[in-house]
Amino acid sequence: MSKVLIYRMKQYLLIFFLFCSFAMNAQYHTTGKELPCVNKVFKVFAHVGISETGETNLTEEEIVETVEAVNKYFEPICISFEVCKIDTMWNYTFNVPREHLYEEMHATFGEDHLIDLYFCFMEFGGPFLCGRTDGTILSDDEGAVYTHKQCPRGLAHELGHLFGLLDTFVPGNNNSLVDYSNCETTGDLICDTPADPFDGSRLEYFIYDCRFIYDGKDANGDYYLTEVGNIMSAYFPCYCGFSRDQLLKMVETYNATPNRFW
Specify the residue, 56 or 229, whose C-beta has the smaller distance to Zn ion: 229
Choice between 111 and 192, CB closer to Zn ion: 192
Task: Give the integer Cα–Cα distance in Å for 206 and 226.
Answer: 10
- Contact flag: residue 5 with Zn ion (CB under 5 A): yes
Tell me the CA end-to-end span of the chain in Å, nearest whole number. Answer: 25
Site for Zn ion in 165-194 (CB under 5 A): 167
Strands of the 79-89 sheet, one edge to the other: 2-7, 128-134, 144-148, 115-120, 40-49, 79-89
In the complex, what is the shortest distance from the CB of residue 95 to Zn ion, in angstroms, rounded to a whole number? 22
Smallest separation, CB 160 to Zn ion (Å):
8
Interacting stretch for Zn ion, rule CB under 5 A, among 74-82, 140-148, 162-170, 241-249?
162-170
Q: Shortest CA distance to 154 belongs to which of 104, 186, 190, 117?
A: 117
116: contact with Zn ion by CB under 5 A:
no
Closest CB to Zn ion among residues 3, 153: 3
Tell me how far, at minimum, the Cβ of 233 lies from Zn ion, in Å.
9
* 3 vs 29 by CB, closer to Zn ion: 3
14-53 residues near Zn ion, rule: CB under 5 A: none
Q: Decide: residue 257, CB within 10 A, 0-12 exposed, 13-18 middle, 19+ buried.
A: middle
Q: How far is the CB of 54 from Zn ion (least distance, A)?
A: 32
Q: How far is 1 from 7, CA to CA, in rounded Å?
A: 19
Please state, in angstroms and rounded to a whole number, the distance separating the CA atoms of residues 229 and 34: 21
Q: How far is the CB of 158 from Zn ion (least distance, A)?
A: 7
Size of the site for Zn ion (CB under 5 A): 3
Looking at the Cβ atoms of 29 and 157, the one nearer to Zn ion is 157
Cβ proximity of 81 and 74 under 8 Å: yes
Q: How far is the CB of 187 from Zn ion (least distance, A)?
A: 12
Helix, strand, coil percentages (3-state) for the chain, rounded to 5, are: 25, 20, 55
User: Which CB atom, from 64 or from 69, has the smaller least distance to Zn ion?
Assistant: 69
Q: Write the DSSP string, 97-130.
A: --TTHHHHHHHHH--TTSEEEEEE--B-SSSEEE
Q: Interface with Zn ion by CB under 5 A: which residues? A: 3, 5, 167
